[in-house]
Amino acid sequence: MYNPNEASIIKESSYGYHLIPIRDEMLSHREVELVGEVDAATVNALIRQLRHLQRQDPEAPVTLYINSPGGSVDSGMALYDVMQAVSCPIRTVCVGLAASMAALLFVSGAERDMLPHSRLMIHDPLIVQTGGSALRLKAVSDDLMETRQIIAKVIADHSGKSMEEILAKTANDSYFRAKDAIEFGLADRIITSLADSR
């Protein structure tokens, strides 16, 4: 069904001309996007796409373009687990910003490419608002500290850095330009062309 808010292209076939969402055209080239907030709806759609692509060809690589400020830890970890579980290698490309949970997802790629002016940001998990009894606050705090360790371990595992080095960086909002991300082990290369992205 046509959605006027979604970018589309016109394709010709033996049946005439068809309006196809660019997202579908990208999927046919094994390209998917994480754009905007990391939330349940976005992640569930990406998980479906990755599972579909694995069924099509379990060995062919997939390119995941990321431009996201981050979002839900639970949703992000669900996508991380699926990225690790599918057999096809997932190349991540940072186009703009990969922050918070989006940075963790970027760092976990089989190949990690950044455009020249893109940035990463890593930090400890946050709670926006909470309230309740002292016991409730303690439970929330304990869970947050455990989540901090989990996130740091994932980043450490994919960067080659120690947990201590990662925790020192995530204690504050730590931004990395492409060159700095490569030096710190969070990215592999800077690319200036997307022509080789398939």
CA–CA dist 90, 46 (Å, integer): 12
How does strand 174-177 pair with strand 189-190? unpaired
Give the list of residues 6+ apart from residue 59 with CB closer than 8 angstroms, or none.
Answer: 87, 88
Which residues participate in catalysis according to the annotation? 100, 123
Long-range contacts of 52-57 (CB under 8 A, 24+ apart): 52/27, 53/27, 53/86, 53/88, 54/86, 54/87, 54/88, 57/30, 57/88
- Output the DSSP codes for 115-129: -TT-EEEE-----S-
Give the list of residues 6+ apart from residue 111 with CB closer than 8 angstroms, or none.
Answer: 89, 91, 92, 188, 189
Q: What is the CA radius of gyration of the chain?
A: 18
